[in-house]
Amino acid sequence: MVTLTPLRLAALALAVASLVVVAYVAGTKRGGPKAPPPEPALAGVSFSVREFAALSGWREHDPSRALAAFARLCVLRSAAADDARANPHEALMRDDASLGGTVADWRAACAAAPTASAGAEAARAFFETHFTPVAIAARLTPGGAPEGPATIEPTGRFTAYFEPAYPASAQRTEEFSAPVLARPDDLVTVDLGAFREQLAGDRIAGSVTDGALTPYPDHAAINAGALKGRAEIIAYMRPTDLLFLQIQGSGRLLLREGTLRVGYDGHNGHPYTPVGRTLIDEGALTRETVSMQTIRRWLEAAPPAEAARVRESNRSYIFFRRLDDLPDPALGPFGAAGAQLTPMVSLAVDPRFTPLGAPVFVEIEGVEGGEPIRQLMIAEDRGGAIKGPVRGDLYAGSGEAAGAFAGAFNRTGTMTVLVPKIIAARLPADDAP
C-alpha cells in the first residue's frame, strides 16, 4: 500500500497544525484546559492492487451493462490526444502513480470494448483481460498532517440520486414562483488546474468586472433578483421543488404544454451546503431522521420566509439547459463525463481521486435486512457534495421508485477502481499487497 499526499493538503495541514499549536499555548498560559487532540482528517489517499477473485460478488455479477456504458465513453475519448491526461481533475496522484494515466493508456481497452459480447461471461472476461483492480482508501492523520502515524480508512459513504419529475409552469404564478434559470452569458468557470497542477480538480466561478474575475451572486442574491435580465427563464417551479431539482442536477418539468427535460449547466461558484445539515445544526432534524422526505416535509410546513432562509443557507445555485438533443431517450441526462447516464450503472465520484470514465467495483453493505450491492459501475458524473477518496453517488434512474430509493439510500462501502494493466504495471513495486 502506498500513501499519496497532495501539496495543497500538506499546506492546509501545516496551517491547521499551526493554529492548533497557537491555541494550545494560549490556553496553557491562561491556565485553561489543554486543547483536545484534533480529529483525524484527510491527508492523502492510499491504494493497493487486488485480484478479481478477491472482489466479493464479482463472479456472480453481470457487468455487461457496465461494459456498454464504458464503450459509450470510449467513443467520446477517441478524439482526445494520446498524451492528454485521461483524468485532468486528478489531484492526489504522483507522476509515477497516476490511476488515470494518459488517453493512450486506455486505447487498447477502448478498442476492444465495442466488439465485446454483451453476455455476462464475455463481459467479465473483457474486464479481466484489460484491467487490474486497485482499491482506494483515505489516509487519515491528526489534523490532516501529510506525514506521521496514519489510519487507513477503506470504507466511505454511498448515497443515490435520480432524475425527478416535477410540475412546472411556463408562466409565473403564485404557486409556481421560482424561476429555473439558464446559464447566464457572463458566468465564467475557471479550472484552476489549468494554471497550477497542484490545484487540479478545483474550480471557481464568477464574472469579469473591470478586467478582474469577481464572485458571482449567491443563492439569496439571485433569488432577490441579482440576475434579472441576465439569465433566460426556462420555466417556473415551486420553490422547494426547485431546491431538489438543483440537488439532483437534472429532471423532467411537467408543463401543460408537455414534458421538458433539463440538465446541469453550471453553478455560481459558491460552496455547497446541505440543507439537511442546516436543519440538523438548528435542531429541527437529527442525523437519524434527516432524509429527502423529512427535509421536504419541514420546508413545506414552515412559514414561507423561514423556508426561504433555510433553502438559501446553501449559497450554491445551479443553472440548467434544455435537453432536447438526447441521443437515447431511454437513458438519463448527460453526466460530467459527457455521456448519458445509465440507471444503477453510472456513479458520481470525486474526480480528484477516481478517474471519470473508469470502471469501479463497489461493495456496499446492506442495511435493515436489505441486500448488499456488489457490482461494477462506471464513474460518469460528479457532484458538489461528492467529496473524498471513497465517496459514491449512485444514479438510480427516473420516476417515483427511483426517487424513493435515492431518498432513503445512505450506506457504507468500499471502492475498487479498475485501471488499464499498462497503468498498473507502472505502479511502484511496493504498491503490491
DSSP code string of 166-188: EE-BSS--SSS-EEEEBPPTT-E
Contacts of 308 (CB under 8 A, 6+ apart): 223, 239
What single-letter amino acid sits at 373? I
Q: How far apart are CA 214 and CA 216, in angstroms?
A: 7
Can you list the alpha helix ranges (DSSP code H) found in 375-433? 400-408, 421-426
**Cα 278 → chain centroid:** 20
On whether the CB atoms of residues 34 and 26 are closer than 8 A, the answer is no
Say what angle helices 64-77 and 120-130 make with each other, to 10 degrees: 50
Neighbours of 60 (CB within 10 A): 9
Whole-angstrom CA distances from 137 to 86, 318, 339, 382 are 21, 30, 27, 18
Tracing cell 487540479 back to the chain, one arrives at 200
Lowest mean pLDDT among 19-28, 214-223, 258-267, 271-280: 19-28
Checking if the pLDDT of 261 tops 90, the result is yes
What is the predicted pLDDT for the residue at 248?
85
Tracing cell 440543507 back to the chain, one arrives at 275
Q: What angle do CA 115, 121, 124 make, to 5 degrees?
A: 75
Please tell me whether residue 40 adopts helix, strand or coil conformation.
strand
What single-letter amino acid sits at 41? A
Beta bridge partners of 392: 158
Q: Where are the domains of the chain?
A: 2-155+417-431
| Listed residue (387, 323, 351, 377) closest to 62, CA to CA | 377
**Each residue of 322-367: pLDDT tens digit?**
998 788 888 999 999 999 999 999 999 999 899 999 999 999 998 7
**Each residue of 89-148: pLDDT tens digit?**
886 555 557 889 999 999 999 999 977 777 999 999 999 999 999 999 998 888 767 666
Beta bridge partners of 191: 203
Rounded mean pLDDT, 400-428: 90
Cell of 337: 463525463
Phi-psi region of 368 (alpha: psi -120 to 50; beta: other; left: phi over 0): left
| Listed residue (8, 287, 13, 11) closest to 140, CA to CA | 13
* Whole-structure pTM value: 0.75
C-alpha Rg value of the chain to the nearest Å: 23
**Each residue of 365-396: pLDDT tens digit?**
987 667 899 999 999 999 878 999 999 999 99
| Listed residue (327, 428, 425) closest to 108, CA to CA | 425
What is the predicted pLDDT for the residue at 96?
58
Whole-angstrom CA distances from 272 to 161, 268, 295, 308 are 16, 10, 16, 16
Rounded mean pLDDT, 143-171: 87
Contacts of 257 (CB under 8 A, 6+ apart): 170
